[in-house]
Amino acid sequence: MQVAQLAGVSLKTASRALGGEPHIRPATRDQVLAAARELGYRRNTAASLLARGHHSDSFGLITGDLTNPFYSALAQGLEDEIRTEGLHLTVANSRESPELERSVAQSLADWQTKAVVVASAMPDHSSYAALQEHGIPVVFVDRAAQQIEADSVVFDNAGGGETAARHLLAGGHRRIAFIGDYTWLPTYQERLAGMAGAMDAAGIEGWRRWVRAGAHDVPSARAATAELLDGDDPPTAFFAGNNRAALGVIEELVGRSVDGGAPAVVGFDDFEGARALGVTVIANDPQEMGRRAGRLALDRLADRDLPVQTVTLPTTLVTRGSGERPPPRD
Amino acid sequence: MQVAQLAGVSLKTASRALGGEPHIRPATRDQVLAAARELGYRRNTAASLLARGHHSDSFGLITGDLTNPFYSALAQGLEDEIRTEGLHLTVANSRESPELERSVAQSLADWQTKAVVVASAMPDHSSYAALQEHGIPVVFVDRAAQQIEADSVVFDNAGGGETAARHLLAGGHRRIAFIGDYTWLPTYQERLAGMAGAMDAAGIEGWRRWVRAGAHDVPSARAATAELLDGDDPPTAFFAGNNRAALGVIEELVGRSVDGGAPAVVGFDDFEGARALGVTVIANDPQEMGRRAGRLALDRLADRDLPVQTVTLPTTLVTRGSGERPPPRD
DNA sequence: ATGCCGCATGACAGCGTTGTCATCGCGTGA
DNA sequence: TCACGCGATGACAACGCTGTCATGCGGCAT
């Protein structure tokens, strides 16, 4: 190593100085550091990791689309959390495709990330067991682990769904639509289940005729909204199952004036612009979700035998007007 | 290597099979791959990189805040681009702080990323020369390289600023405010300069009294907007210098009814919800920015001696109503 | 004054993989 | 049939760093 030569010390001593190890005289350390600075030395990660028997210094995050602010907030929270331990975050995109997710996960595994955090697009997560067997903690976010023993961080989807429906019911609505994401998503199922609890408890019948799914992006949510509004028996309120769906519903409503006043809208997930748009939402904190996931993974890295945990984060009703619009008088 | 043993071949042959190298009989390869699968073998990245003399398999991206959809879209575009070459993306957050940016860049350099893409919070980028000297391409995005020879990808900020101002002027506005980001940002300066060109050409005098800066987030933009509206001589139109500023202006306007009609608003950067809110914007494509930056870095990786390029991406005026509101009659 | 202890330092091996070069065997053309 | 060539395979070193262990030195207690 050139640095050691310039500093006039042995390789090992230089390594000690650069690595911040003890058992080195301050004067010697400074000498080495000065030499390193002068030569513009950068330690070779690969060699360092190899020698220490480690594999990687970064966590992998797999999401469906970083463009969705929900995921990017999650990524930010995760990054914040692991940076405290000097770790990096590598992001990968599954585009909500199970095949792509598998390949991306494989790739992260090949490159031996220290841990993987995933918002999975798969119904069955047993294939992640391979990673676990290699000592790579896997934490499932937003969508809980299925068919596998693994940590998860999720929102109280059922509770949020119930709160949303109750809120609309309390406002006098009876014809309440649900514009949900893909049906295979646990988040879809749980939010709908929560709504079902409230609707059934209120004695509403036949409400499922206003349930629509597949609203994973704005256009599809708009389309579903339009279809319902143009139907025989239009709903007086909408419960949008995610941030994209809420935007889609709102966009569609903005474009038309509905006889007897605009339908009420409650969205799941808070989103930028919801305040300006006056959209009532079931708010959650994806950034916190990222932080918690990071923490779980770090803890498991420190002690593999920790019991498996599922952390459920709360949701809060934030009223901003759209959810408080009354139904039109018949 | 266990795999080699199980497959009954030499270490090198196993390496060839796993690495997809030529000069290996298909039958032998399959045998090795089968053995690898059985043992759940994963190649050790660190060792592989070390042996090949490479350093890393990922690009680093430094932004101010992944939570800002502008940056996350950029990140997504960059990831899409480099994944085609089997590379990963590591994200890091500078929180728009030069000190943090320096430390984060240092850390990426220590861990030897293949290339760095940065939306820098620094006025002077000469410290990035150290990375370049180590053969790490550095590409500046959104904010062009300063005091350093490096590739950049930026938007046509001056053009966009001019277009925005012209649009409002054409609508009959004379008292036009600019709610800009931090003054030290080149994007601030260029957008304002573009506006200045249009204002001066139109013979408007004293318009700079409606220029405000520091609107890097929604609350500060709201505050600036409120201050202007509550002043003696409120503007009849706002040009918001970034997506957060636009949201702040809109939020503030939503909360009040201004005598003689709401002020017009044009924002810079398109944003989710702009359509629903009916906000006229100077739209740009951060995802494309990410892709182009990735391409520049990849190209430079292939040939260090490529001439330094600055790619300027276009902006487009998208009218949605807020920018077309006329000024109140005096 | 002597011996012991602990800290600073250095020599050396080894981390898991791939590049280099040598070897081997088989097929081809004369 | 023999020489030649080329593809398949293997032995071995090297990548740059850190862990282990040995060595040397000075201070402290007796």
For domain B2-43, the CATH superfamily is: lambda repressor-like DNA-binding domains (1.10.260.40)
In chain B, the residue whose alpha carbon lies closest to the alpha carbon of A136 is B42
Sorting pLDDT into bands at 50, 70 and 90, what band is A277?
A: very high
Checking if the pLDDT of B257 tops 80, the result is no
Q: What is the mean pLDDT of residues A51-80?
A: 92
CA A140 – CA B137 distance, rounded (Å): 35
Q: What percent of chain A has pLDDT over 90?
A: 78
Checking if the pLDDT of B213 tops 80, the result is yes
Considering only CB atoms, B112 lies closest to which of A42, A134, A273, namely A42
Q: Could you tell me the fold of the domain covering A58-154+286-313?
A: Rossmann fold (3.40.50)
Considering only CB atoms, A90 lies closest to which of B47, B65, B89, namely B89
**Is-contact B218 B251, C-beta < 8 A?**
yes
Over residues B129-153, the pLDDT tens digits come to 988 888 889 999 999 999 999 999 9
Best mutation target among B2, B111, B134 (most A Cβ atoms within 10 Å) is: B111
Sorting pLDDT into bands at 50, 70 and 90, what band is B70?
A: very high
- pLDDT, residue B128, reads 94
Checking if the pLDDT of A286 tops 80, the result is yes
Checking if the pLDDT of B273 tops 70, the result is yes
Checking if the pLDDT of B329 tops 80, the result is no
- pLDDT, residue B260, reads 64
Residues of chain B neighbouring A109 (CB-CB closer than 8 A): 42
- pLDDT, residue B229, reads 94
CATH of domain B58-155+286-313: 3.40.50.2300
Over residues B83-123, the pLDDT tens digits come to 888 888 999 999 999 999 998 888 887 777 889 999 999 99
- Outline which parts of chain A fall under CATH 3.40.50.2300: 58-154+286-313, 157-284+317-324
The SS3 call for residue B282 is strand
Class of the CATH domain delimited by A157-284+317-324: alpha beta
Checking if the pLDDT of A203 tops 70, the result is yes
In chain B, the residue whose alpha carbon lies closest to the alpha carbon of A130 is B40
- Outline which parts of chain B fall under CATH 3.40.50.2300: 58-155+286-313, 157-284
Q: What is the mean pLDDT of residues A136-158?
A: 97
Checking if the pLDDT of A71 tops 80, the result is yes
**Long-range contacts at B200-207 (CB < 8 A, ≥ 24 apart):** B202/B169, B204/B169, B204/B174, B204/B176, B207/B175, B207/B176
- Outline which parts of chain B fall under CATH 1.10.260.40: 2-43
CA A261 – CA B58 distance, rounded (Å): 53
Checking if the pLDDT of A242 tops 90, the result is yes
CA A240 – CA A164 distance, rounded (Å): 9
Checking if the pLDDT of A236 tops 80, the result is yes
- pLDDT, residue B259, reads 63
Neighbours of B13 (CB within 10 A): 20
Joined together, the tokens standing for residue B96 give 């728009």
Checking if the pLDDT of A165 tops 80, the result is yes
Checking if the pLDDT of B225 tops 90, the result is yes
Residues of chain B neighbouring A133 (CB-CB closer than 8 A): 40
Checking if the pLDDT of B36 tops 70, the result is yes
- Please count the residues of chain A: 330
| AA letter at A266 | V
Q: Cα distance from B90 to chain A (closest Cα, Å)?
A: 4
Considering only CB atoms, B90 lies closest to which of A65, A73, A89, namely A89
Checking if the pLDDT of A262 tops 70, the result is yes
Sorting pLDDT into bands at 50, 70 and 90, what band is A330?
A: low
Least confident of A83-87, A213-217, A272-276, A291-295: A83-87
CA A274 – CA A267 distance, rounded (Å): 9
Protein CB footprint (7 Å) on chain C nucleotides: 7-20
CA B195 – CA B213 distance, rounded (Å): 14
Q: For nucleic chain D, which protein residues have CB less than 7 Å from any of its atoms?
A: A 1, 11-12, 15, 18-19, 21, 41, 43-44, 47-48, 50-52; B 9-13, 16, 22-25, 28, 47, 50-51, 53
Average pLDDT, chain A: 93
- pLDDT, residue B106, reads 83
Checking if the pLDDT of B258 tops 80, the result is no
Class of the CATH domain delimited by B157-284: alpha beta
Least confident of A38-42, A299-303, B34-38: A38-42
Average pLDDT, chain B: 93
- pLDDT, residue A260, reads 64
